[in-house]
Amino acid sequence: MSTPWIDACGIHTFYGSSHILHGIDFTVGQGETIGLMGRNGMGKSTLLKSLMGLVKPRAGSVAVAGRDMTGKPPYEVARLGIAYVPEGRGIFGNLSVVENLQMAARAGTRGQRDWTYERVLETFPRLKERLGHGGQQLSGGEQQMLTIGRALMTNPDVLILDEATEGLAPLIAREIWRICSLIKDSGISSVIVDKNWKHVTQITDRNVILVKGQVVFDGSSDALHAEPLLLEQYLGV
Ligand SMILES: Nc1ncnc2c1ncn2[C@@H]1O[C@H](COP(=O)(O)OP(=O)(O)OP(=O)(O)O)[C@@H](O)[C@H]1O
């Protein structure tokens, strides 16, 4: 089997004395699209931050592309091809759409430049109409498109999307799901956190559910659909 892009073992993460993640194993294989689910406060964002080096796990290890990155800073993790779109986004509001995209441009870890400025604009027609606008003039949905577009400009191997469609109008959310499918088809691995399990499982190969900082389910979308009681018990649907 090829080396996974991300391979985390036995992660324990704390905020002060609060023990949030209790020994999580989490892998992202090459070309895999993974849904990370669970109710509010179960530790999804904390897991993503632990993978990215934004929060330092107290125990366990994180390998990226076969290299031990445990405790390494976020920019080093990002340089190994992991693009992270945090909850609540984080574009540069005082820069235009063009500037936000162009400042992110770089080749990927294998020199790939599949995602060019032109391709990103083709993928996000709405952004194309707003090139000169400042980041802060965009709607929430457009800001989310811009953050995803910016992440793609780095030609990542893995795209991590926290709360992919949170707070977006249904039509815009649908557009984000369309883009997630395109990203999957392009061969980029992704980890998608979203409340809408129906949309998530339509495009994911594998789904991981967290309850109180532990993995309670790790399986295919078909396996999850076949167990409606799990959905009710773990996701409250
Ligand atoms: N910076 C922090 N300091 C202290 N506690 C925190 C911090 N960030 C999160 N927590 C707590 O850690 C737990 C897990 O939070 P986390 O954000 O990882 O959950 P989540 O599954 O992503 O949920 P949500 O969908 O609400 O973001 C929660 O109890 C939360 O209150």
Dist. CA 63–CA 8, nearest whole Å: 6
**Reported confidence tier of residue 41, pLDDT bands at 50, 70, 90:** very high
pLDDT of the residue at 137: 86
Minimum CA distance residue for ligand 1 atom 24: 40
Give, for 222, the enclosing helix (H) or strand (E). Answer: helix 221-225
Write the single-letter amino acid at 28. Answer: V
> Which CATH superfamily groups domain 6-235?
P-loop containing nucleotide triphosphate hydrolases (3.40.50.300)
pTM: 0.94
pLDDT, tens digit, for every residue of 121-178?
999 999 999 998 888 889 888 999 999 999 999 999 999 999 989 888 898 999 999 9
pLDDT of the residue at 15: 97
What's the complex ipTM? 0.96
Output the ligand 1 site: residues, CB below 6 A. 15, 18, 20, 38, 40-46
pLDDT at 1 over 80: no
pLDDT, tens digit, for every residue of 203-227?
999 999 999 999 999 999 999 999 8
pLDDT at 90 over 90: no
Q: Which atom of ligand 1 lies closest to the CA of 49?
A: 18
**Reported confidence tier of residue 231, pLDDT bands at 50, 70, 90:** confident
149 three-class SS? helix
Q: In the predicted model, what is the mean pLDDT of the chain?
A: 93
The share of the chain scoring above pLDDT 90, in percent, equals 81
* Domain segments of the chain as ranges: 6-235
pLDDT, tens digit, for every residue of 180-204?
999 999 999 999 999 899 999 999 9
Q: Which atom of ligand 1 lies closest to the CA of 213?
A: 14
pLDDT at 230 over 90: no
Give, for 20, the enclosing helix (H) or strand (E). Answer: strand 18-28
Assess contact for 48 and 160: CB atoms under 8 A.
Answer: yes
HSE at residue 166, side-chain half, CA atoms within 13 A, is 14
Kindly give the distance from the C-alpha atom of residue 126 to the centroid of ligand 1, in angstroms, as a whole number: 32
Burial 83-109 (b: 16+ CB within 10 A, else e): bbbbeebebeeeebbeebbeebbeebb
CA 49 vs CA 1, 54, 132, 143, 165: distances in Å: 26, 5, 32, 21, 19
The preferred substitution site among 18, 37, 163 for testing ligand 1, maximizing ligand atoms within 8 Å of CB, is: 18
Alpha helices in 27-185 (DSSP H): 44-52, 74-79, 97-102, 117-123, 125-128, 140-152, 170-185
Kindly give the distance from the C-alpha atom of residue 18 to the centroid of ligand 1, in angstroms, as a whole number: 10
